[in-house]
Structure 1
């Protein structure tokens, strides 16, 4: 498979967690990042139906408001803990976890910060484990997602950034897959490696991966 292709029509996720709920209500977030009739006339009618189906397909595959290029839903959204004390240890764990991934704007989630009971939200991806059919590892699929974002970045910014290797990935699995990808890249053919971040998403009903942003990682 071409790692720069955004067309992943033949790739279906093994697991789509449709139980993801908005953590903002329980954790005091300002923006919900976490945690979707004659022979000639009959021919003309068939063509019209085909056009309608094409429009429906295009609509299903078009980007949503939260997939607009350059949109970072974490920007200007610092975590604010609720004034009232947590009701129990689970809520306290959830607040710590939410503050933790806000600090990296979603690009880092340590395993020890992930609540044991949590079945949704942002979590680190095992890059070497099987991830998507047909027989793609997490690393291989995220290389595809990263290259989609890099291609868009190069086009918009008139750059020549190329992917060298994936460093880590945080994913949100809910009605699709959203990847927060940290990677090393070269800004010129003989340039030094520079750390970059990319965010891309493919919702379950979309055929293509949609790039959201690509940028040098903040220091």
Structure 2
């Protein structure tokens, strides 16, 4: 694997007495897509939230281009270049599409033109810019969530089950954007339960089981690796 842009070592996440992530590590090179696969409950979401700094008391170390992010808040990590699109999208449902984008622009002190650029990333968003986010389809909400995450021009994009509940044609459109983002130099890490739902050819693969990263492989080997580790095909 080429030199890492985002790296993590010894990540541990605990909720009360339950251990969600055990001593997890990963390496995501620039200009690549890394798939993080594992069944529900494997710890994928907890790991991504630890990378963005959203889990209080998470152990381990996270580095961006060799620079430590430890101790930084999610907003500070976003300002440094790491963005997360969480599972469930978490758009502001009572605000319009345009207002959702304006909130992010204001919070990150981005120039106002970034709102227009975000609307242009998915043309349907421009036609729906005055519509409340809560009235959008699931696919449109996911487009909005990804457009918001990309407003700051992140060096690392984390996506937590972006294909959940969406039609294959919508997923294909989203993944085309993801591949463009990686092609422009970003490191992309996508957590999904299977390659079938992911619908993108990953450059690298990781497999999680019971809170641990149990396998690492090239993207072309991910299907076989997943089968070998978990006994099922992806």
- TM-score, normalised to structure 1, is 0.29
More strand by share: 2
Q: Going by fraction, where is helix more abundant, 1 or 2? A: 2
